[in-house]
């Protein structure tokens, strides 16, 4: 019979222990074709010693193909076979990160709170960080040096729960301008000359110096420097009367060109070191007489929307700076009815539209500034964000819970304000992501 013939041929083939699988395939094929030509012996079968099939036998059912490699997922496939490495998951975009944040977490990213540089209020600040606050700055004065400051920052970072921050990085700032304004001192921190003295140094050298100063900050855990000051004081004769800037030699010079060249050199050196510089105090504090920190009703009566003294800020933005700090003064020729941190003309029109700035607009201190005493702390925060501000800076940690609650409540009840909160939070996430 046809099937008997196949069986016998296969038995004969199986007796030798090392017969090629190829010959078996040939025999099988010959057996099937031989059914139609039973009087013609299959050469392959004859070569193997098998008999011819008789004519008239029925055709055998087709044999399944023998796989040449084990199927995926089988023990043979998984045993000893190298598996291709999967690509790492894509890093979430700022937009994706925003979508994952609760409203409470989004609001927290809009605050930068003072922490004493010596760590003496670390417990209080840690509580705020665990209630979603996403940014701090080291304030006061410290002689702890790089190692001591790094320990303070590490303690604060360690206190943050993933549930509070959703794993977002903490921005840690300080005021390390030079001269009278240098928060961090001690072993490992260089004494910085005042900005007016930095203005006498070649810009290339100043950039190199700033890179070293920035490296010291980064080693201490600080990644944002609240400087350089890009305010232009009109001249040395007026400097002593300019209480916030000239009286402390915080200006780089007395012309916008000098301030631009040296201020941008300082900023570039900080960025070379991996520290984000903050250009301040837009649209300029070089023409006022009083200091908004300790005086009320401070007005700039000269600066205009197209003023030449805006040049250092525009140059810094064009050079890639991602943080700009807003002055607390009134600007009578720009928006006489609103202090700068409550002015959409200054923040949305001048900074966003005129200057093309897309980064973080951070306030000057909104908590202790005497200039802002007519407003409650909660209104100060909502007015700032509602007018286009991004990040509320507060020198008084005790005021933050009330400010935070006021912003959160307003965002929950006012869809327009909620859009401002979401836009500001997205800006923070983009800058933190290096965009």
Peptide bond connecting 281 to the previous residue in cis, omega within 30 degrees of 0: yes
pLDDT at 19 over 90: no
Q: For residue range 208-257, list pLDDT tens digits in order.
A: 999 999 999 999 999 999 999 999 999 999 999 999 999 999 999 999 99
Q: For residue range 60-75, list pLDDT tens digits in order.
A: 334 334 444 444 444 4
pLDDT at 80: 53
pLDDT at 390: 98
Residue 362: in which H helix or E strand, if any?
Answer: strand 360-363
pLDDT at 62: 41
Distance CA 247, CA 364 (A): 19
Distance CA 324, CA 347 (A): 10
* Lowest-pLDDT range of 6-15, 92-101, 193-202, 380-389: 6-15
Distance CA 254, CA 242 (A): 12
H-assigned helices in 130-255 = 145-158, 162-165, 195-198, 203-219, 236-239
Distance CA 355, CA 314 (A): 6
Q: Tokens representing 193? A: 């000359």
pLDDT at 47: 37
pLDDT at 162: 85
Peptide bond connecting 228 to the previous residue in cis, omega within 30 degrees of 0: yes
pTM given for the model: 0.80
- On whether the CB atoms of residues 405 and 132 are closer than 8 A, the answer is no
- On whether the CB atoms of residues 230 and 317 are closer than 8 A, the answer is no
Compute the C-alpha angle 321/254/194, nearest 5°. Answer: 70
Give the DSSP per-residue string, 104-147: HHHHHTTEEEEEETTSTTHHHHHHHHTTT--EEEEES-B-SHHH
Q: For residue range 140-155, list pLDDT tens digits in order.
A: 999 999 999 999 999 9
Q: Percentage of residues in the chain with pLDDT exceeding 70?
A: 80
Q: For residue range 307-366, list pLDDT tens digits in order.
A: 999 999 999 999 999 999 999 999 999 999 999 999 999 999 999 999 999 999 999 999
Residue-range domains of the chain with CATH: 2-59 (no CATH), 94-432 (3.20.20.300)
Q: For residue range 168-207, list pLDDT tens digits in order.
A: 999 999 999 999 999 999 999 999 999 999 999 999 999 9
- On whether the CB atoms of residues 175 and 142 are closer than 8 A, the answer is no
Distance CA 380, CA 362 (A): 13
3-state DSSP call for residue 48? coil
Model confidence at 163, pLDDT cuts 50, 70, 90, reads confident
SS3 letters across 241-292: CCCCCHHHCCCCCCCHHHHHHHHHHHHHHHHHHCCEECEEEECCCCCCCCCC
Model confidence at 58, pLDDT cuts 50, 70, 90, reads very low
Q: Per DSSP, what are the bridge partners of residue 330?
A: 299, 339
Q: For residue range 244-290, list pLDDT tens digits in order.
A: 999 999 999 999 999 999 999 999 999 999 999 999 999 999 999 99
Q: Tokens representing 140? A: 């006061």
Residue 178: in which H helix or E strand, if any?
Answer: strand 176-178
């Amino acid at each position: 019979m046809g099937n008997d013939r196949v069986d016998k041929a296969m038995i004969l083939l199986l007796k030798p222990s090392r017969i090629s699988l190829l010959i078996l395939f040939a025999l099988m094929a010959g057996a099937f074709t031989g059914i139609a030509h039973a009087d013609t012996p299959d050469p392959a079968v004859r070569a193997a010693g098998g008999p011819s099939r008789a004519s008239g036998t029925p055709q055998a059912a087709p044999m399944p193909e023998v796989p040449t490699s084990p199927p995926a997922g089988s023990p043979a496939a998984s045993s000893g076979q190298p598996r291709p490495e999967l690509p790492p998951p894509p890093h979430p975009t700022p937009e994706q990160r925003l979508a994952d944040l609760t409203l409470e977490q989004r609001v927290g990213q809009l605050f930068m709170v003072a922490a004493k540089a010596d760590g003496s209020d670390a417990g209080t600040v840690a509580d705020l960080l665990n209630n979603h606050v996403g940014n701090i700055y080291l304030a006061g004065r410290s002689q702890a040096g790089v190692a001591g400051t790094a320990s303070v920052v590490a303690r604060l970072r360690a206190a943050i729960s993933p549930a509070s921050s959703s794993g977002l990085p903490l921005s840690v700032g300080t005021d390390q301008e030079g001269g009278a304004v240098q928060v961090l001192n001690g072993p490992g921190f260089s004494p910085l000359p005042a900005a007016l003295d930095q203005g006498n140094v070649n810009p290339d050298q100043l950039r190199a110096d700033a890179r070293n100063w920035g490296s010291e900050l980064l080693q201490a855990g600080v990644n944002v420097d609240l400087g350089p000051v890009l305010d232009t004081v009109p001249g040395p004769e007026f400097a002593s009367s300019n209480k916030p800037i000239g009286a402390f030699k915080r200006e780089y010079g007395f012309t916008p060109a000098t301030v631009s060249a040296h201020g941008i050199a300082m900023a570039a050196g900080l960025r070379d070191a991996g520290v984000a510089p903050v250009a301040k105090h837009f649209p300029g504090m070089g023409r006022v007489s009083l200091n908004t920190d300790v005086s009320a009703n401070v007005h700039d009566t000269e600066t205009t929307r197209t003023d030449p003294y805006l040049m250092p800020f525009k140059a810094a933005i064009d050079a890639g700076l991602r943080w700009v700090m807003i002055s607390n003064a009134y600007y009578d020729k720009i928006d006489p009815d609103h202090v700068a941190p409550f002015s959409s003309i200054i923040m949305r029109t001048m900074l966003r539209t005129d200057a093309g700035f897309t980064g973080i607009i951070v306030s000057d201190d909104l908590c202790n500034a005497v200039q802002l005493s007519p407003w409650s702390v909660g209104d100060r925060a909502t007015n700032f964000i509602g007018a286009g501000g991004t990040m509320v800076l507060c020198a008084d940690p005790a005021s933050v819970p009330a400010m935070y609650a006021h912003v959160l409540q307003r965002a929950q009840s006012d869809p327009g304000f909620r859009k401002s909160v979401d836009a500001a939070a997205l800006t923070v996430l983009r800058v933190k992501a290096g965009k």
